[in-house]
Amino acid sequence: MPALPLDDAGPYVAGAYLVFLALILIYVAIMASKLVRIERELVELSDLVEGRRAAAADEERDAERSEAVPR
């Protein structure tokens, strides 16, 4: 088969390279969405730790207060 002229071959070549680019971009976008989910879980986890720390501090303060009150 004779070579396609540049005008006819151009869209095919561009199409092939764009398919590759699209695949990589879609892959990266999916990975980015997973990263966002990990970040959200990390925030939940740090909130949980902060909540526990605050609760422990409150308990400690209450204990100190009850010890300070004269019987």
List interacting residues with other proteins (CB under 8 A). Answer: 1, 3-6, 8-10, 12-13, 15-17, 19-20, 23-24, 27, 31, 34-35, 37-38, 41-42, 44-45, 48-49, 52
Amino acid identity at 9 = A
Report CA torsion sign: 52, 54, 57, 59. negative
Between 38 and 68, CB nearer to other proteins: 38
Between 37 and 61, CB nearer to other proteins: 37
Q: What region does 2 belong to: left with phi over 0, alpha with psi -120 to 50, or beta?
A: beta
Between 11 and 60, CB nearer to other proteins: 11
| Token pair for 9 | 């071959």
